[in-house]
Amino acid sequence: MLRMIIVDDEKAIRESIHTLIDWDKLGITIIGLCKNGAEAYDMILDEYPDIILTDIKMPGLTGLELISRITQAQLNVEFVILSGYGEFEFAKEAMHYGVKHYLLKPTSEAQIIEVMKAVKEDCFRRRINSDIREKHRQFSAMVYRRTIQDALTAAISGNMPLQAVIEQENRFIDFENTNYELCYFYYLEEKDLAGCLRELTAYQQRQAPGIDLHLIYVNYALIVFFKGYASDYAAFDSFAAALRPSVQYERVSFQNLADLLGVLVKKLRRFETVSLLDGENRISLCNYSGLLQRIEQLTLRLKQAGGDERRERLEELTGLLSEITDIDFLSVLVTSLLLKHSVLFGDSATPANISKFLTALKKCETAEDLRRLLLSQLDALFAKNAAAQPEYKDCAARIIQYVEHNLDNPQLSLKWLAENQLFMNVDYLSKQFARQTGERFSAFLTRKRIEKAMALLASCGNDKIYNVAEAVGCGNNPQYFSQIFKRAVGMTPSEYSKSVSG
């Protein structure tokens, strides 16, 4: 059931609306009747309704002010305006806040029901979109955390040159353009570590929700680094310096992640064992460099192998993996292999499939479970790749394929593709696309849109130009469409349509 609040300073109106409609039949529960905006605002913050039916002109906090406050608070609410004839200008102002539904006083039962059915559809659509965004956010955060762990594992345990690690991982993480902060908490004994972590995590969730803390514990020191999120960290420094038990605290700012890792990895390589902290889990990084290199080589050879040779390589990989008994390290290694090689195998390793794999990974309780999961995943992945031989094998080809099938998407940009389809670093994608195609993405996208527009204009006639703009992703700005068309073709869409039809 959806939950709704009715707001009107006239008692007779709000109560008659409440009793006039069979709300249960509509799937809506009325959770409150409020006489003004201030009363409604407090109830919204306490009850989190789905729908607000509100008058505009009320004493104290008006309906428009209520809508403005709730919009700024980014609460997931659908508004319906209830207004008299003389208040239509106010209603138009409310539309600027995204309000789509309007009831004019006096209103009828049928009008209310009709509007509420439309509002219900909007509510459910909003919920679905919200769920999708949250799942995407969780997946992106999981890939980000795992890639950081992978980079540290390769640099510390694998002894890979840092520049090689960065080149290997920069399709998933921005190493060059984002500020980072690196914090040291020295002389922190093991028995005090859990309490310190709880305080740090709680503080970060209050002050910077959504910013991951990357945690390392080595030689009685807790090392924390995170993306920059403020211009001044005085409050964080005061909090960190006052942690109990007393520790020696130091913070260093870096222009980017590559510089931070250059300093950090050099220090961490001095120690025999380093612990990566992930929630309650501890991942011990030891000197597995030789083993890691052999596994990497085998995985790459598996990509080209087929038939009996592929089976032999899988058996060899099984033997190497059996040498690793540390389940935490093996978990990082298994994730690394799938994330690192997913792009190489094209559509057979989609973000959805990787997400399912990472979910299954969490359920593994023993090192043997992890080995079986990895081998079955690699076997299926390589088998599908060998059988299908997909036409598109690299990120540039996948970008081209997606653009050609989704030209009507007005949000289409390299940044949007990086965040919503390929889950890669946009700077990496831009450079790879330009290097492989000899064309910047913006020029390619415009060219494809013009080519499709020319074909449509040749067949649809002059009266359909707006539809053509919409079909190539420019429906929200037809003037821009006309400008880029004339710049590319030398004539306006109307002129071109007439020339090809005459």
What size, in residues, is the chain? 502
Residue 81 DSSP code:
E
| Model confidence pLDDT, tens digit, residues 7-33 | 999 999 999 999 989 999 999 999 999
What is 2-107's CATH superfamily? Response regulator (3.40.50.2300)
Give me the pLDDT at residue 180, please. Answer: 96
- Class for the domain spanning 395-501: mainly alpha
- Helical pair 441-460 and 395-405, crossing angle rounded to 10 deg: 30
List the chain domain ranges: 2-107, 160-286, 290-388, 395-501
**Distance (Å, whole) CA 107 – CA 110:** 8
Out of 264-268, 269-273, 490-494, give the one with best mean pLDDT: 264-268
pLDDT at 167 over 70: yes
**Distance (Å, whole) CA 102 – CA 85:** 12
Angle subtended at Cα 49 by Cα 48 and Cα 55, rounded to the nearest 5 degrees: 120
Give me the pLDDT at residue 457, please. Answer: 77
Give me the pLDDT at residue 46, please. Answer: 84
Cβ pair 105, 84 in contact under 8 A: yes
**Distance (Å, whole) CA 469 – CA 381:** 40
Give me the pLDDT at residue 343, please. Answer: 36
Cβ pair 22, 48 in contact under 8 A: no
Phi, psi of 264 (to 5 degrees): -70, -45
**Residue 6 vs residue 500, higher pLDDT:** 6
The answer to whether the bond into 245 is cis (omega within 30° of 0) is yes
| Model confidence pLDDT, tens digit, residues 374-408 | 777 666 655 555 444 434 346 788 888 888 888 88
Q: Under the phi-then-psi rule, with left for phi > 0, alpha for psi from -120 to 50, and beta for the rest, what region is 220?
A: left
* Neighbouring residues of 23: CB distance < 8 A, sequence distance ≥ 6: 4, 29, 30
Cβ pair 407, 400 in contact under 8 A: no
Tell which CATH classification among 1.20.120, 3.30.70, 3.30.160, 3.40.50 matches the domain 160-286.
3.30.70
| Model confidence pLDDT, tens digit, residues 121-140 | 888 888 877 777 777 777 77
